[in-house]
Amino acid sequence: MTTELAPQLRGVDPDLQILTAQGVSMRFGGLVAVDQVDFSVGLGEIVGLIGPNGAGKTTFFNCLTGLYQPTSGQVVFQGAVLPPKPRRVVKAGMARTFQNIRLFANMTALENVMVGRYCRTSSGPFTSIIRGWKFRREERETKEMANQLLDFVGIGSSADHLARNLSYGDQRRLEIARALATEPKLILLDEPTAGMNPQETRQAEELILRIRDLGLAVVVIEHDMRFIFSLCDRVVCLMQGKVLVEGTPEVVQSDPQVIEAYIGTGPAEPEGTEPDGIVGDGGPRNA
């Protein structure tokens, strides 16, 4: 588990919140998918968001990132209320990856990452058409940065491969590189290890720690409880749209409500054989 602040953040008050969501709700007709959720992320913090299938985790990410306009509540990021517009959320410094990978399948890995960077470049349509010096300089810098990010996530040798030809695990890494190209302060990862083998999962854990060491805050949704409890500083468990429990991994994994939500009460166990916490993969994954 990680408690120390990244070098870039030493001297910064660790209690400073980079993100605060207050009373966020999202209703789809009669279904309340997210119900009055209060949620915060501190500078340099890795927060795990867990909960059974359908608990509202992805919907909550969609509310934070402007994909959905919450039915009620507000999201404050770096001291300012965020408008529910994905492009403006990215520009404000929040990036994400998707549970169902969303890459430009017929573009190379390098081009996918370069697209992420374009929200920070200033060349407009005119400079792009005439390919003036400013456009060429920005394009060179963008390419250099994209190559560095591919190396950083461990797929530098696949820069020229089409995204659709990459393995599932490498596509997930590519999505992270593209998100990092937007120069975020906070990155939200929706099931980053889904479909990965144990070795890739360990590499993903190490990658997330290196992202935190760059000075970013991270929120990660995962069903793999071993991954969540070893990686995160704090864990929030959602259940039917509501926050069920929140705390350190030690507190959350031994909480009876969390154990019941994941394992169910089941038949009574003989005395002395009750689970003393959740380990391993705590729930089914989506395809």
Ligand X SMILES: Nc1ncnc2c1ncn2[C@@H]1O[C@H](COP(=O)(O)OP(=O)(O)OP(=O)(O)O)[C@@H](O)[C@H]1O
Of these, 44, 48, 51, 66, which contacts ligand X (CB under 6 A)?
A: 51
| Polymer length of the chain | 287
Name the minimum Å distance from CB 75 to ligand X: 16
Q: Is 53 in the site for ligand X (CB under 6 A)?
A: yes
Contact region with ligand X (CB under 6 A), list: 47-55, 74-82, 105-113, 156-164 = 47-55
Name the minimum Å distance from CB 57 to Mg ion: 5
Of these, 19, 37, 47, 55, which contacts ligand X (CB under 6 A)?
A: 55
Q: Is 172 in the site for ligand X (CB under 6 A)?
A: no
H helix runs in the chain, sequence order: 57-64, 86-92, 109-117, 125-130, 133-153, 168-180, 198-213, 225-231, 249-253, 256-263
Of these, 39, 41, 58, 96, which contacts ligand X (CB under 6 A)?
A: 58
Q: How far apart are CA 151 and CA 145, in angstroms?
A: 10
Q: How far apart are CA 175 and CA 153, in angstroms?
A: 10
Tokens of residue 116, six digits:
């992420």
Of the two residues 56 and 116, which places its CB atom closer to ligand X in the complex?
Answer: 56
Of the two residues 120 and 242, which places its CB atom closer to ligand X in the complex?
Answer: 242
Mask for 258-287, x = binds ligand X (CB under 6 A): ----------------------------x-
Name the minimum Å distance from CB 285 to ligand X: 8
Q: Is 86 in the site for ligand X (CB under 6 A)?
A: no
Of these, 42, 48, 59, 123, which contacts ligand X (CB under 6 A)?
A: 59
100: partner contacted, choices Mg ion, ligand X, none (Cβ within 5-8 A by kind): none
In the block, residue with structure tokens 């060349």: 123
Strands 94-96 and 186-190: parallel
Of the two residues 55 and 236, which places its CB atom closer to ligand X in the complex?
Answer: 55
Q: How far apart are CA 146 and CA 142, in angstroms?
A: 6
By CB atoms closer than 10 A (0-12, 13-18, 19+), residue 93 is middle
Q: How far apart are CA 3 and CA 49, in angstroms?
A: 18
